[in-house]
């Protein structure tokens, strides 16, 4: 199968940090279709050779195991081309059309690694130039809007040119091997599904924590914040994967139908729950890994009086038969004590205790997303300590490290997603109604913050966020992992 992959924003950070390394890994693994071209598009005045040299130099910043050798890059570079183009200039689309005709590929993928403000412009110009075709696919990077209204406007403009099956709204968390194994765990095994319900599960916690601050994205982040950047998309997609009913098959719409039901079942916010169950924070100066870290308001590009949140913790419930009464906790933030993303499923204690066990001990399933990738099952068992009676139990755990188990067979998130786009598989991409439902659910939170004069709670960089986050979960008699 022949393909053209057109990377708009072809000299930007996303392309050289994520997309090009992922495409090279697909090339190295032999999974990238043979007859293909990768065309970088940007405003810079570069030749094909200069673009290849630029990408080669950027590979020096990629982790060592994923860097190409001289010989490998020489072969990979044969796929790379460049087109100078201004997306807002109608005349440049004729040059794009000529570039596409050179190859006349079976599949054309337009990857918009650009500011969302250009999505509508791109669609209008593609239609005006007569370049839209059934074999064309368009990939939209987040953030897709900043609220429900802007999200709908973008979706409507894209749907005027492309059908839903041609639109690939990307959320790279869905491409992570650990998230794929979450689906396999639930729907490929008979062990857990009978336990996956309110009768046996006490609570579920989703944590996406970052040690880093906002790096060089101050202006972007200050207009976005943690709620839009992480909760509305990544965290809610993980919640859907945990909470959804088994789909009737593995087809894209069957999976996305079930995710949509979860989003529609999330408990609506009230003034009381917004006060008690949503915590926002912003990091102040602190210490990370033994080094001083500046406060958020001291970061380059950030308003010195900014009220943008760098931390969010919240409690919600899925109001349906399976999950009624089970709290779901989500927290995410910058400049926290560790870099870790995981889902923790906390089971209820045994209904009748006949053994002695540590106070509060119960079974837990921990699904690690990053940096570790695997599963931990926490159980209770009899130890061999002679000082204890045979009636005493101790915590033990089963630990499955997917990286050690599968090694070089692992496929990275962007590699998997890019190959899926080329092949036309929509399973790991987000449908427009899912996105709109997610925005609808977070909008009351955003509205309540607009009217909150106090702003976010401060927390020291290098900690686990505001103490109010711990108080929120403690009201239910539970605690975050590091506090239990």
Give catalytic residue positions.
234
Helix ranges (DSSP H) in 227-325 = 236-243, 252-265, 271-277
Count of Cβ atoms closer than 10 Å to residue 103 Cβ = 16
Q: Which residue in the block uniquely carries the two structure tokens 């403009």?
A: 157
Helix, strand, or coil here: 459? strand
- Euclidean distance between CA atoms 319 and 198, whole angstroms: 11
Cis peptide before 76 (omega within 30 of 0): no
* φ, ψ of residue 296 in degrees (nearest 5): -55, -45
CA nearest to 181, candidates 410, 26, 480, 418: 410
- Euclidean distance between CA atoms 108 and 293, whole angstroms: 45
Cα–Cα distance list, 427 to 63, 253, 259, 437 (Å): 29, 7, 11, 18
Cα–Cα distance list, 310 to 56, 279, 423 (Å): 34, 11, 37
Q: Which residue in the block uniquely carries the two structure tokens 């040690």?
A: 211
* Per-position DSSP letters for 226-245, written without gaps between them: HIIIIIIIIIHHHHHHHHPP
- Euclidean distance between CA atoms 229 and 131, whole angstroms: 32
- Euclidean distance between CA atoms 452 and 454, whole angstroms: 6
Angle at 260 between CA 206 and CA 451, to 5 degrees: 65
């Amino acid at each position: 199968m022949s393909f053209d992959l057109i990377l708009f924003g072809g000299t930007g950070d996303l392309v050289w940090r994520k997309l090009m390394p992922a495409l090279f890994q697909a090339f190295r693994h032999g999974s990238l279709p043979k007859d293909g071209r990768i065309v970088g598009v940007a405003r810079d005045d570069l030749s094909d050779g200069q673009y290849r040299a630029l990408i080669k130099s950027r590979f020096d910043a990629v982790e060592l195991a994923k860097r190409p050798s001289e010989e490998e890059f020489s072969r990979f570079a044969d796929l790379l081309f460049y087109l100078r183009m201004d997306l807002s200039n109608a005349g440049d689309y004729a040059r794009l059309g000529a570039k596409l005709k050179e190859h006349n590929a079976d599949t054309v993928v337009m990857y918009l690694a650009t500011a969302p403000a250009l999505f509508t412009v791109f669609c209008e110009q593609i239609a005006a130039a007569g370049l839209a075709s059934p074999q064309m696919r368009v990939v939209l990077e987040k953030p897709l809007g900043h609220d429900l209204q802007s999200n709908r406007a973008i979706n409507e403009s894209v749907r005027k040119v492309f059908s839903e099956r041609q639109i690939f709204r990307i959320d790279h968390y869905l491409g992570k091997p650990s998230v794929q194994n979450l689906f396999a765990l639930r729907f490929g095994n008979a062990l857990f599904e009978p336990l996956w319900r309110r009768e046996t599960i006490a609570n579920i916690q989703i944590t996406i924590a970052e040690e880093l601050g906002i790096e060089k994205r101050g202006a972007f982040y200050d207009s976005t914040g943690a709620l839009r950047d992480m909760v509305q998309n990544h965290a809610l997609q993980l919640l859907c994967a945990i909470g959804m009913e088994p789909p009737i098959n593995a087809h894209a719409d069957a999976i996305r139908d079930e995710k949509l039901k979860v989003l529609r079942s999330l408990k609506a916010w009230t003034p009381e729950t917004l006060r008690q169950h949503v915590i926002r924070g912003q990091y102040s100066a602190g210490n990370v890994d033994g080094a001083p870290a500046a406060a958020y308001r001291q970061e380059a590009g950030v308003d010195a009086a900014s009220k943008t949140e760098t931390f969010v913790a919240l409690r919600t419930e899925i109001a349906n038969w399976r999950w009624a009464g089970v709290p779901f906790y989500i927290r995410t933030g910058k400049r926290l004590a560790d870099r870790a993303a995981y889902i923790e499923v906390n089971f209820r204690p045994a209904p009748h205790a006949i053994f002695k066990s540590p106070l509060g001990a119960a079974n837990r399933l921990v699904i690690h997303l990053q940096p570790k990738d695997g599963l931990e099952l926490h159980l209770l068992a009899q130890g061999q300590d002679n000082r204890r009676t045979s009636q005493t139990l101790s915590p033990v755990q089963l630990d499955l490290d997917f990286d050690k188990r599968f090694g070089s067979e692992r496929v990275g998130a962007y590699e998997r997603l890019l190959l899926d786009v080329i092949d036309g598989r929509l399973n790991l991409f987000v449908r427009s109604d899912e996105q709109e439902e997610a925005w609808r659910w977070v909008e009351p939170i955003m509205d309540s913050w607009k009217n909150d004069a106090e702003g976010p709670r401060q927390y020291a960089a290098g900690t686990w966020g505001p103490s109010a986050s711990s108080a929120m979960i403690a009201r239910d008699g539970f605690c975050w992992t590091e506090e239990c």
